[in-house]
Amino acid sequence: MKEEIIRISKINNIDKIGFCNIKNLKIPYEKYKLQETLNYKCSFQVGDLSDKSLINKKYNIYNTVIVILVSYNKVDFSDKSCVSLSSCAYGRDYHLELKDKMQDICEYLKDNGYIYKTYVDNNPLDERLLAYNAGLGFFGKNNLLINEDIGSYFFIGEILTDAVIESDKIQNNKCIGCNKCIKVCPTHALNDNGILNSKRCLSYLTQSKKLDENDYKYFDNCIYGCDKCISICPYNNIIKEVKNEIDIDEFLSMSSEEYKNKYSSNASYWRGKKVLDRNINIYLNNLKKKK
């Protein structure tokens, strides 16, 4: 069964696939507790410890997590005269893309009498932790998972199933400790204790509806997300760079209907045009102050 699922994954252009036993996950309980104690969790982080460790009753029917990684390109932000969306928002919405890529695996499980449930991003699971348990990488100081072959520029999708499949071995590799990600973080959301302050993460701030004006100075030409700590990681030097530029005048003058027509299949669409308009204007004001 495992070999067949791997074969199906390759046909669907899934870059990496791993398997882990739900009943035997390695969980960093102390890290979760410390994040709670320090009040570092942001509003996007839903669920509780029972969701992270999969001991919640709703997961009792499953035995295995199948985790997939799908690579994406790195957006070039070097031209500070234009704005762009984060690399994760380049092209078609990855939620839809990964669901499509997992469909054949799900059909295979169904045809063999197994139940399944798919997850991509907006859910209470700790997807990076599941990928780690499935042997797909190790953690960097930026809290991102690093795969030695494809770096950190990848999306993660999961299939929970009642099928019993042999687990893959957890990787013992470690971050090289260059600290480049910590140094480049504009809001100091990354620190030496290894716990991300999600409330200070610029990616979170750019997506927040309510902002403190004191945080405006941190905004750069990425108007949705922040790629600073991932782009500087040495493991990502090999990632192909692409342009994701937005015509500022065109974007700001778009009607709601025009915005929907152009961006509804983009990962940034859920946040709404008003927030992105605000971020563009913050960027433009910051640009004026520098002149």
Token pair 């969306």 is at which residue?
85
Query: Quick one: the chain helix, strand, coil %, rounded to 5?
Result: 40, 15, 45
* Beta strands in 32-152, from DSSP E residues, in sequence order: 64-71, 74-75, 83-85, 116-120, 138-139, 145-146
Token pair 């945080």 is at which residue?
215
Q: Is residue 275 within a helix (H) or strand (E), and if so which, with residue range?
A: helix 273-290
How would you class 46 by CB atoms within 10 Å of its CB: exposed for 0-12, middle for 13-18, buried for 19 or more?
exposed
Distance from C-alpha of 53 to C-alpha of 242, rounded to nearest angstrom: 37
Q: Is 121 a catalytic residue?
A: yes
Catalytic choice (51, 76, 121, 168): 121
Going by C-alpha positions, the residue among 184, 181, 206 that lies closest to residue 271 is 206
Report DSSP letters for 182-195, one per residue: HHH-TT----TTS-
CB distance 66 to 105 below 8 Å: yes
Return the active site residues.
121
